[in-house]
Amino acid sequence: MNFTQFHNGNNMPSVGLGVFRVENNDTAKDAVKHAIQSGYRSIDAAFIYGNETKVGEGIAEGIKAANISRDDLFITSKLWLDDYGKNNVKEAYEKSLNLLGLDYLDLYLMHWPGTDADLMLNTWEGLEALYNQQLVKNIGVSNFNIDHLDILLNKATVKPVLNQVEFHPYLTQTELRNYLNKHDIKMESWSPLMNAEILQDEVVNNIATEINKSPAQVIIRWNIDHDVITIPKSVTPSRIEENYDVFNFSLNEEQMQQLDALNQNKRIGPNPAEFNG
């Protein structure tokens, strides 16, 4: 297993399981449990996904089945826009903890910057309070552009450890990655496989054939080799295992360049500059 170290000295697994668009039923529970049994130690949840209850059950069953402790896992959730505002953060955090059946989170993120800079800053103060009271191990942001980060870093007393954004070979976010590197904030990619769209790409498939790996493994390894944490989503046991079997190879410079050259600045999600829930 690979770890990435944050600026505060804490570590996060480089690959985790995403659960976006997974129903709040045994499919979610079984996927999380199987991931933990297969070696995953990072699970990425969010209140707005509406499945924290079953994800939590999967965490509990996975801990038991893998014979590990809660402290061996790294669990993320996210604050939704409806709960923004400094005075709402703690209650929303506790709501997610209750749904997940946990005592603490390893990482709590602002899910989107929103379109109100003052509200964004006010909300971040609420996350800082959670962190300063040692109620959460790490705090970060999601879907923040450079403009949002400039505003935040100008006022923040606790710097985010991470920015979770859309990132794949069709959206390489080079400027944002360079900015995050400069400020020692890690990047994490959501939906790295583009809902399987990128797996049809000819270049991706040619590289997969060259190195005898699957297209998904190529993309996940491309993330790792760019020092980007990633959380591919799957509910299929064989794919969950395949997506994690990426630590015994790396891509060479030419292959990385071929994948980088696929950039089209193409998003499958909303534009963070405009999205407000």
Per DSSP, the residues of 35-53 read HHHTT--EEE--GGGT-HH
Q: Which residues contact 61 (CB under 8 A, 6 or more apart)?
A: 29, 32, 33
Main-chain dihedrals φ then ψ at residue 165, nearest 5 degrees: -140, 170
How many angstroms separate the Cα of 160 from the Cα of each of 128, 218, 236? 9, 29, 33
DSSP state of 67: T
Q: Exactly one of 49, 93, 108, 170 is catalytic; which is it?
A: 49
| Residues 88, 38: Cα–Cα separation, whole Å | 36
Residues 184, 182: Cα–Cα separation, whole Å: 6
For residue 49, indicate whether it is catalytic: yes
Question: In terms of Cα–Cα distance, which of 76, 85, 21, 23 is closest to 229?
Answer: 76
Contact 91, 83 (CB under 8 A): yes
Catalytic machinery residues: 49
